[in-house]
């Protein structure tokens, strides 16, 4: 079961895909709840070349996130081994740059003296859900809160924005569509859209951004995952928008 926010995001991806399919002949399925690009737009002139696009329903959505875990000594990014090296390096850098582990420890602490560091090490080493829920149960009992991982802002500003862009670029994504705001370039215009289309698509440049830690509801909505999340502030509207047929036609006729 997925949260309403996730379902709304998927519905928006599907609506964009439907609009694109009315013009483009082959539009792959959206990423849905997966980890790839939300939209893949093949170039009509070269089907092997794709435009990879991130899709957000608002600038208030999550812009990159990573589960965190306790290794028996400190809080660290939870690395599964499936992530691109660039993402692993990014979150390791964020932890170091902003002293995230220490700030989490100060905020979340340890549940109580009834659980030792060795207990925690066993819990996070054993991936069974019962162990993870047991750890959360101890935290819940200690804090008296359903969500034992309170939200805290770690950092804000332009530097966080650059990390958001770095996060998506590491996944091969350099473009983003935000509902109600439009279409933007994230970092380098690797497909040379501005040159090919003869227009000036704006850069994704929000007024600010935040790095936060929080307890994110899981798929079951019965537990919370400790998570480090990048979040964005508002952006100026773009003249170009995948919700508009005219922009879709412009892409199709020139790519």
User: Is pLDDT larger for residue 103 or for residue 119?
Assistant: 103
Confidence of residue 121 (pLDDT cuts 50, 70, 90): low
Cα-trace Rg, the chain: 20
As a whole number, mean pLDDT of residues 70-74 equals: 69
* CA 155 from centroid of its chain's CA atoms: 17
Query: Given this model, what pLDDT does residue 125 score?
Result: 56
Residues 6 or more apart from 68 whose CB is under 8 A from it? 75, 76, 77, 78, 100, 104, 213, 226, 227, 228
pTM of the prediction? 0.74
Backbone angles phi, psi at 217, to 5 degrees: -60, 140
For 127, which DSSP code? -
pLDDT for 101 beyond 70: yes
Query: Given this model, what pLDDT does residue 141 score?
Result: 59
């Amino acid at each position: 079961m997925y949260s309403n926010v996730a379902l709304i995001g998927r519905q928006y991806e599907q609506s964009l895909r439907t609009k694109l399919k009315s013009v483009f002949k082959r539009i792959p399925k959206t990423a849905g709840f997966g980890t790839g690009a939300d939209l893949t737009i093949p170039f009509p002139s070269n089907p092997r070349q794709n435009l990879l696009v991130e899709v957000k329903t608002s600038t208030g959505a999550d812009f990159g996130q990573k589960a965190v875990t306790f290794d028996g000594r400190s809080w660290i990014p939870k690395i599964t081994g499936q992530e691109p090296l660039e993402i692993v390096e990014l979150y390791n850098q964020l932890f170091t740059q902003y002293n995230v582990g220490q700030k989490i420890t100060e905020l979340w602490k340890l549940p109580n003296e009834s659980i030792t560091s060795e207990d925690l090490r066993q819990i996070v080493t054993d991936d069974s859900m019962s162990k993870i829920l047991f750890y959360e149960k101890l935290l819940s009992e200690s804090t008296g809160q359903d969500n034992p991982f309170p939200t805290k802002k770690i950092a804000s500003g332009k530097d966080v924005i650059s990390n958001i862009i770095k996060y998506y670029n590491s996944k091969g994504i350099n473009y983003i569509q935000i509902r109600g705001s439009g279409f933007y370039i994230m970092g380098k215009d690797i497909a040379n859209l501005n040159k090919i289309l003869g227009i000036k698509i704006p850069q994704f440049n929000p007024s600010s951004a935040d790095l936060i830690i929080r307890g994110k509801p899981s798929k079951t909505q019965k537990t919370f995952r400790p998570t480090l999340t990048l979040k964005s502030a508002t952006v100026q509207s773009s003249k170009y928008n995948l919700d508009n047929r005219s922009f879709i036609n412009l892409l199709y006729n020139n790519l």
